[in-house]
Structure 1
Amino acid sequence: MWRAFPNTDTASRSSGPGSHASGSKSSRHMRASMWICASISVIAAFFLLAAVACGDDPPPEPSPTPLPTYTPVPPTPTASPEIETSPRTTGDEANSVITSALPSLADVVEEIEPWVVSVTTERFVRGFFSTFRDEGAGSGFIVRSDGYIVTNEHVIRGAQELQAHLANGETYPATVVGKDITTDIAILKIDVEGLPFATLSDTSAIRVGDWVMTLGNALDMKGGPTATLGIVSGLGRSIKTEQGQQFFNLIQTDATINTGNSGGPLVDMNGMVIGINQAVLAEARFGFAINAAVAGPVIDSLIENGAVSRTEIGIKGDDVTPAIARSFNLSVTEGVVVTAIDSDGPAYAAGLRVGHIITKLDDIPTPGLATFLPRLWAYKPGDEIVIEYVDGDSTKVMTVTVESDPAQ
């Protein structure tokens, strides 16, 4: 904001003829006034030149506006007849083009709803004066006709009573058959036969941009499951929870996943399950689902054995990224850096240490945990694997015997 200069005319008018020669206060005011005026003239000239020089510059770019909420079939905007210069597709025609490749979404919902389940939980918490009941809600889906239900492990964690609410309105008590913290999958069982059940899809063919739908107990709302539509926004995603747990090979979607959707199915337009809804990044409006390719073997193992058997070599690690490589002047830009090691484990016995970077298992590159862990888990206890790793500027090889993970 411009500020006015002080009025200097008074000092000039009050100065007598001898004030300049004597160096009086009035004379000093006169000199100050002339100096200020000269300064103003220079500044004015500068801004005049700047205005001329910038007069043809384009206006600044407007600030970007937030992306609109995703709409699968957006309405076709209408234009004013006065500015119409070419024929336009009508709204009905445009919507027909957009939806021509999609089956009726109502048909998909009708197909999958019978095997979608609402899961409610109760646990009793002892307070200072009394015990109170804590209730929770999530989603799940039937995977076998004899009452096996898939949900998230975190949905049923700590629950003492479980109930499964089916689409036909019937409610059954449920028991936990098995759970796997590593993948956040749990299997429940209800004592019913002849139930409709889901089919897991071969996800090797899914692509970013494919249409997907969720159906589940969003916000524990009454009146049936909530359906939302979106696309596959990304594949092979990894996330880390606030507790430090990491999940890998997730499907990212912009289909809305609300509280209560956890454990429910993410399905393709054929009604086949491609993922299990797991987590949401609320500020970014993205959801994440466990890939059916990862979930399938875990589900089978939990149903048959009540647990998942995995192997380990006694280390903890993290991904090496290009940014980390630059910061620490590493000789490689990807791999798994060892962050902790069990001194009684097989990797330590073979010579692996904290700070070493694993780059290959049996000559197959492991650019990060998302590839390293599934490959490690594919081995059986007692198998020997060849590990290629980087120690400083040197690349070395060792042989390690894998063992059963006692945490499973």
Structure 2
Amino acid sequence: MDDNRLDEVKDVRWESAECSKGEINFTSRRRKSRIKKLLNGLVFVLIAAISGGASGAYVISKKYPNNYSSINQPSLEPKKEVNKVETADIPKNAITKVAEVVGPTVVGISNRAEGFFGLQDLGGGSGIIFDSNGYIVTNNHVVEGAAKVTVKLSSGKTLPATIVGTDSRSDLAVIKVDAQNLPTAKLGDSSKVKVGDIAIAIGNPLGEEFSGSVTAGIVSALNRRIQYAGAIYKVLQTDAAINPGNSGGPLCNEAGEIIGINSLKMGSDQNAEGMGFAISINEAKDIIKSLMDYGKVARPFLGIYGQGVVSEKNNIKGIYVREVVQGSGAALAGVKPTDIILELDGKKVTKFEDLADILDKHKIGDLVVCKIWRSGETIEVNITLSDVREKSK
């Protein structure tokens, strides 16, 4: 190949190379232009988003100033489940507080007596520690006839107990265990109790396996007078559940004060529900003190058992004498069964509770005038009041 032809070939290669180089440069410029436009778009969107967020935050802060800080500042605390309430957040109610305060002062009492096979369980009940040196008040029927009495504290410790004194008329008894620094219950004032007040009972219904049971209701009635086994009980009525084993335990108000001492649910033979009774604490205070000091309660006793009667035939209203206690003041004065007592101490009587009200105002040894209707005639006798404990002599 001559020199001229060689030069032409070089020129063609050079031009081809230049063309190729030129095409490559053209493609790179188009790609860069597209990337630049994409970046510009992203920057615009970012700026718009920031601007919109700032504007929205500004509007919210103006409209809801109190909530603004919580909206913009994320909480560092762990999130809680919705509607979940922790036990620690639930406030204690009155019943909870009473159970915590009074519960440790309530004990279980076991009554045992000699039987054919040795000591046999006669049942049990509850009691209230009212003196830190081991004095406990309970019902008389809980410890009546016992050869051995044991007390189980709320701590689970069991101790032998001695009977300090009993009073069958009020159905109260005081026992003692050999212990000191025991938790004690606070005795309240039952004269301040009103119908509808909260009433809380604590005790061992149906035995030790249910010890410390707490039931609650209201005070249903005040100053109920119930004649039972020849005695007049002045009691509070409540619909708080009181079952066998609750006897002798406390009935409390919502301040944790003892307003009554629970007794057996009377009327249980009638399948009555919601009718529990407690001896009012004001009636019990003097009896408890007398039992501690003397081991018994001295009170005047007329010496008769009977019931109110109305005779339309003779237009007579009074107390029909069903039984006269031997050796009593009534027996010595000549009162007889079938007599009808019209007046005592100058006051008309139509029901047995009337007699109790009059006797409560007198002392042992007082002389009272009793007007009696007998066989169509009215007579008067003078009765010297004796000790209720002398009725069996």
Query: What is the TM-score with the length of structure 1 in the denominator?
Result: 0.64
**What is the CA-CA distance between 1:295 and the residue it aligns to?**
1.7
- 1:230-245 alignment, distance < 5 Å: 230-239=217-226, 244-245=229-230
- Alignment partner of 1:298 is 2:295: no
Q: Which amino acid aligns with 1:271?
A: G
8 A contact 1:248–1:370 mirrored in 2: no
Secondary structure of the corresponding residue to residue 174 of structure 1: strand
Q: Matches of 2:99 and 2:349 in 1, distance apart? A: 40
Alignment CA distance shift 1:154-1:230 (3 Å): same
For residue 204 of structure 1, give the secondary structure of its aligned residue in structure 2: helix
Q: Distance in 2 between matches of 1:274 and 1:332?
A: 40
Contact kept in structure 2, 1:277 and 1:289, CA below 8 Å: yes
Please give the residue correspondences for 1:57-96 in structure 2 after superposition, counting only pairs within 5 Å.
Answer: none
Could you tell me which residue of structure 1 aligns to residue 355 of structure 2?
Answer: 372
Residue 372 (structure 1) shift: 1.8
Say if 2:263 is the partner of 1:273. Answer: no
Cα drift, residue 401 of structure 1: 2.2
Offset of 1:125 from its aligned partner?
Answer: 1.2
Aligned to 1:205: 192
Are the aligned partners of 1:315 and 1:338 in contact in 2 as well (CA < 8 Å)? yes
Asked if residue 331 in structure 1 is aligned to residue 288 in structure 2, the reply is no
Q: Verify: 1:179 aligned to 2:181, yes or no.
A: no
Aligned-pair CA distance for 1:392: 7.3
Q: Does 2:245 correspond to 1:256?
A: no
Residue in 2 that maps onto 1:61: none
SS of the residue corresponding to residue 249 of structure 1 reads: strand
How far apart, in 2, do the equivalents of 1:343 and 1:164 lie? 38
Post-superposition Cα deviations, 1:131-156, rounded to whole Å, max 9, x if no partner, equal 46325221000121211101111111
Higher gyration radius (CA) = 2
Q: 2: distance between equivalents of 1:110 and 1:132? A: 35
Measured in 1, the distance between the counterparts of 2:224 and 2:204 equals 24
CA offset at residue 183 of structure 1?
1.6
1:204 to partner: Cα distance:
2.3
Q: What is the alpha-carbon distance in structure 2 between the residues aligned to residue 365 and residue 110 of structure 1?
A: 49
Contact preservation (8 Å) 1:103, 1:269: no
Match of 1:138 among 109, 122, 125: 125
Shift of 1:345: 4.5
- 1:158-173, aligned counterparts within 5 Å? 158-173=145-160
Structure-2 separation of matches of 1:248 and 1:372: 13
CA 1:200–1:329 in structure 2 vs 1: closer, same or farther (change >3 Å)? farther
For the residues of structure 2 that align with 1:362 and 1:240, how far apart are their CA atoms? Answer: 21
Q: State the match for 1:112 in structure 2.
A: 102
Contact persistence 1:216–1:227 (CA under 8 A): yes
How far did residue 332 of structure 1 move?
Answer: 4.8
Q: Secondary structure at the residue paired with 1:124?
A: strand
Q: SS in structure 2 opposite 1:325? A: strand
Aligned counterparts of 1:344 and 1:306: Cα–Cα separation in 2: 23
Q: What is the letter of the counterpart of residue 284 of structure 1?
A: A
Question: Given the superposition, is the C-alpha separation of residues 407 and 390 from structure 1 closer, same or farther in structure 2, using an over 3 Å criterion?
Answer: closer
Distance in 2 separating the partners of 1:166 and 1:343 = 43
Task: State whether structure 2 residue 278 is matched by structure 1 residue 289.
Answer: yes
The equivalences for 1:41-60 within 5 A come to none
Preserved contact between residue 201 and residue 214 of structure 2 (Cα < 8 Å): yes
Which stretch of the first structure deviates more once superposed, 191-200 or 295-304? 191-200
Does residue 347 (structure 1) correspond to residue 336 (structure 2)? The answer is no
For the residues of structure 2 that align with 1:240 and 1:189, how far apart are their CA atoms? 29
Q: CA deviation at 1:191?
A: 1.3
Deviation at 1:174, TM superposition (A): 0.8
RMSD of aligned Cα (Å): 3.0
Contact kept in structure 2, 1:125 and 1:134, CA below 8 Å: no
Match of 1:220 in 2: 207
Please tell me whether the aligned partners of residues 94 and 255 of structure 2 are also in contact (alpha carbons under 8 angstroms). Answer: no
* Matched residue, 1:77: none
Give the partner amino acid of 1:124: E
Q: 1:132 to 1:292 in 2, by over 3 A?
A: closer
CA–CA distance in 2 between the matches of 1:271 and 1:329? 54
**Which whole-Å CA distance do the structure 1 matches of 2:122 and 2:334 have between them?**
49
Q: Deviations over 1:43-77 (max 9, x none)?
A: xxxxxxxxxxxxxxxxxxxxxxxxxxxxxxxxxxx
Q: 1:307 aligns with which of 290, 296, 304?
A: 296
Query: How many residues in Structure 1 have an aligned counterpart in Structure 2?
Result: 297
Deviation at 1:402, TM superposition (A): 1.7
Q: Which amino acid aligns with 1:255?
A: A
Instruction: After TM superposition, give the deviation of residue 188 of structure 1 in Å.
Output: 0.6
Residues 1:310 and 1:149: Cα distance change in structure 2 (over 3 Å): same
Whether the aligned pair in 2 keeps the contact of 1:201 and 1:292 (CA below 8 Å) is yes
For 2:218 and 2:353, locate their aligned partners in 1 and report how far apart those are by CA, in whole Å. Answer: 22
Does the Cα contact within 8 Å between 1:331 and 1:392 map onto a contact in 2?
no
